[in-house]
Structure 1
Amino acid sequence: MDAVEIVRRSYEAFARGDMDAVVADMHDNIEWQQAQGLPHGGTYHGLAEVRRNVFDPLDRDWWSEFSALPDEFLDAGAEVVVLGRYRGTARQTGKRLDVPFVHVWSLRAGKAWRFRQFLDTRGWVEALAPNR
């Protein structure tokens, strides 16, 4: 299976809520870089940290609805660039989220060993912020 198909498979699993399948093609010690400026921005190491700090809070704490919808997968050899949109509704505020993202996946031996997220974090933060 080529790198694009491996990455695409993760988004398809995320869309159907199958978190075990989402992380199935990730290295146990993946380096996960969340965009600075997000409430959970920073770098996480390993699947346990990624699940605890990135995936678990998505539905539990932040979003009553959330999706990461890929529009394009760009094959860059050992890296795959994904262009897409985050959409959702904030759990506490009811505000809508609709912002573009860029994800860069680095793969080695059929496993993602690094993920980098790029987005304008303002829309995300504003959706989560309570009205003042």
Structure 2
Amino acid sequence: MNLTQREQQVYDLMITGASQRTIAKIIGFSVRSVKQHSAHIFKKLGVYSTREVVAKHYIGLGYTNENGMPGAELLSKAERRVYDQLITGISRKQMAANIFLSEHTVRFHLRVISQKLGTNSMLEIVIKHYTSGQNTEMKEAA
């Protein structure tokens, strides 16, 4: 992926879960500039959200975490199906289509998952899934 120097700076902060406002403060330019760089990153990666950028980043590095983040064992079967879709970074609409549920049901499960895992956003779940301590392993390159 060919990112400009500024896009790379935004990308590096984006995968940590930093907000656009925080990224702008750290790098030293406007939120509008961060939004423009983010849009370029999305286009180059063929994604539609920061959540997808983060998931692609960790998946591309070969990270795996089959057990999920701490607390994932408390999820019901239906919640785990939604969680497994969520960690790929796809949208709620895509999740619903993939597992044959309504968007309303997916939203409900996501709310319960966030409560059980003690998170505030879907992005936070994705980041914690791939970065949660001892269960995270690197796949060996073939």
* TM-score, normalising length: structure 2: 0.29
* Greater share of residues in helix: 2
TM-score (normalizing by structure 1) = 0.30
Between Structure 1 and Structure 2, the one with more strand by share is 1
